[in-house]
Amino acid sequence: MAKEKEIKSGHHYDASDISVLEGLDPVRRRPGMYIGTTGPEGLHHLVWEIFDNSRDEAMGGFCDDIEVVLLPNNRVRVADNGRGVPVDIHKKTKVSALETVMTTLHAGGKFGGENSGYKVSGGLHGVGASVVNALSIYCKAEVHKDGGKYIQEYSQGKKKSLVKKVNSSKLHGTIITFEPDKEIFKDIKFDWNTIIGHIRQQAYLVKGLKILIIDARGYEGKIDDSDVFYFRELGLELPSVSFYFEGGLTSLIKYYNKFQKPVHNSIFYVEKELDNVLVEIALQYVDDIVDRIIPFANNIYTGEGGTHVTGFKTALTRTLNTYCKKNEMMKESEGGFTGDDVLEGLTCVISVKLREIQFEGQTKAKLGSMEAQGAVGTVFGETFTNFLEENPDEAKAIINKSVLALKARKAAKAAKDSVLRKGALEGMTLPGKLADCQSKSAEESELFLVEGDSAGGSAKQGRDRRIQAVLPLRGKILNVERARIDKMLASKEVRALVIAMGTSIGDTFDLSKMRYHKIIIATDADVDGAHIRTLLLTLFYRYFRQVIETGYIYIAQPPLYKIKKGKEISYAYSDAEKIKIIGKETDVSEIQAVETDVEVPEGEIIENEKSPARTAEASRSGGNKIHIQRYKGLGEMNPEELWETTMDPAHRVLKKVNIDDAEEANKVFEILMGSEVPPRKSFIQSNAKLAEIDI
């Protein structure tokens, strides 16, 4: 008989050890479960939750005007002219329906079936307003309904008073104002462009809806919105953006393809309901090698796809293969299209609306409703087949685009297999110029990508050989924005980087084989260095996006100046920091660069960009002179300087690269790195004043 384990004294476990979280306490205890993260994405998710409630009123036909205002003190105000949240007593909770909605999880007007008035909505979890309330230090709900104006205020999810009628009103609608809690969100900063980008999509998706966004953050102490329904009634001249579209998804396709060359002129569009699923799809092919599929479910952007995207991709591949074979537009030896072939160059918006919708997770990034897959597949398959039959010229252009992609895929696969096979046969799985680290643990290993042999030499000598690897890159790598894998792998520098990473590429990419969990781009602080950094980021974004999304890509921040005051040596990473270190309120433009040793009055600055040797010689004269050496490249630093300023984990400054808005990033890369010159010229002219010029 097995001996029973003795329970140690002090480890008694009974019902008293079980915690029961009441009300909105679970939200505050585990906010990530409800908004995904407490970083910038989660912060903006609070805005989306409140905005989505107003948008759902518009989808139901009860609202046609929404206003979003960024207020001082980190507050956000969302107003709509919908029906207004009910304020009468709820039979089950015995308190006002408004209080129930704002303070109770899974409570809302979207569970009531036909009687709720919501045929479709995005907020079916019923946690939107209550979660925002729970994570806010201040929240106020204002309802105009049935001739009265009602308000209730909250803090951290708890009511501060009962719902009370404060005035009469002839208006109808709801106004929610909230201020995120600093206990939950350490960095509260709403991004204007992020909010505009998200709400612009919604304006395209809900026809006839007017949306106004106002930035009033600079008016602290100067505004009082307590007696106005819409903030715009105050008559202030503030930064604002308004949206109103009647074209729907077709207009959205035109917006995404603004800087692209279409393969066919007409935009395919269908809107049809099947099995209680409303399917709306618009698409157009452009002359590009990447695809853009923008999916929505009940107007919620599902960035991770889901069943509606699966149904679309399956139907697209099947339809184009069937049409191609029927019209003998492809040789039998070429086989058929794969999903990648028919997606190349495609811009598509998929929108489905369902009464009972299932998302995978509260953040609603992926649709899980299986009925959407069948409905999308059937509706799109039938209508796209008709489109191809009725538009033979358009069909020919689309098929030719996919055939070209098929041939390129096969050529690229052969080239990639050849490169990887050749590397394995030569017994050289790592490039010769890579100075690898000793550690075999990817979690602690770092790969520095440096510019040229000079910087490579200093980095190799100054590094921590146990965890830091160095790969010098010669010259500017290939611009891969419009390059396929076969051409890309023909570049020695790109091939060396791909092999060093260990993940392979394309359809054989495997993130788990990543050899370094920090890839640090360390280029020079000049125009060429910035160009090389941009080329590397283009490579990672186009072919290794998962590496960026996982948080493995960093940009090193080497110092711009070495400053010596007597025997004290400091490093400055910006001009502002340089001025702070030298202790003078001197404009940078007034500091003269000198190339010869001269006697200068005590405290005067000697700045030498071109001759470190002369600076060192001048410093031997002693005194309180300040000597400044301007670093133009990492190769100018000796190994010790490079280690203590740029490579030492205890003191260095790294910037992590992430993708806040994939669509916006995609558009910028297309403009700046693509083959079309006019969009790039326009972008440069429009943003010239924002450029930081290093003279």
| Residues involved in catalysis | 451, 524, 526, 528
Residue whose pair of structure tokens reads 């404009």 in the numeric block: 587
Task: Say whether 524 counts as a known binding-site residue.
Answer: yes
- Whole-angstrom Cα distance, residue 391 to residue 399? 12
In SS3 terms, 496-514 reads as HHHHHHCCCCHHHCCHHHC
- Whole-angstrom Cα distance, residue 124 to residue 554? 38
Query: Residue 669 to residues 396, 451, 459: CA-CA distances in angstroms?
Result: 29, 22, 30
CA torsion angle 10 11 14 18 (round to 10) = 110
Cα(first)–Cα(last) distance of the chain, in Å? Answer: 84
Tokens, residue 620: 């031997």
Task: Say whether 660 counts as a known binding-site residue.
Answer: no
Q: What are the φ/ψ torsions at residue 150 (nearest 5 degrees)?
A: -120, 145
In SS3 terms, 206-239 reads as CCCCEEEEEECCCCCCCCCCCCCCCHHHHCCCCC
* DSSP H or E run through 323: helix 307-326
- Whole-angstrom Cα distance, residue 400 to residue 55? 41
Q: Answer for the pair 91, 71: CB distance below 8 angstroms, yes or no.
A: no
Q: Answer for the pair 84, 141: CB distance below 8 angstroms, yes or no.
A: no
Alpha helices (H) along 140-215: 192-205
CA dihedral sign, ordered 397, 401, 406, 410? positive
Q: Which residues contact 448 (CB under 8 A, 6 or more apart)?
A: 459, 463, 468, 469, 470, 471, 520, 522, 556, 647
Q: What are the φ/ψ torsions at residue 413 (nearest 5 degrees)?
A: -65, -40
Among candidates 503, 496, 501, which has minimal Cα distance to 419? 496
Residues paired with residue 67 on neighbouring β-strands, in sequence order: 79, 212
Alpha helices (H) along 62-214: 97-103, 128-134, 192-205
- Whole-angstrom Cα distance, residue 446 to residue 463? 10
In SS3 terms, 580-648 reads as HHHCCCCCHHHCCECCCCCCCCCCCEEEECCCHHHHHHHHCCCCCCEEEEECCCHHHCCHHHHHHHHHC
On the 0-12 / 13-18 / 19+ scale of CB atoms within 10 A, 251 is middle
Residues paired with residue 277 on neighbouring β-strands, in sequence order: 274, 354
Task: Say whether 526 counts as a known binding-site residue.
Answer: yes
- Whole-angstrom Cα distance, residue 80 to residue 62? 10
Q: Which residues define the annotated binding site for Mg(2+)?
A: 451, 524, 526
Q: Which residues define the annotated binding site?
A: 451, 524, 526
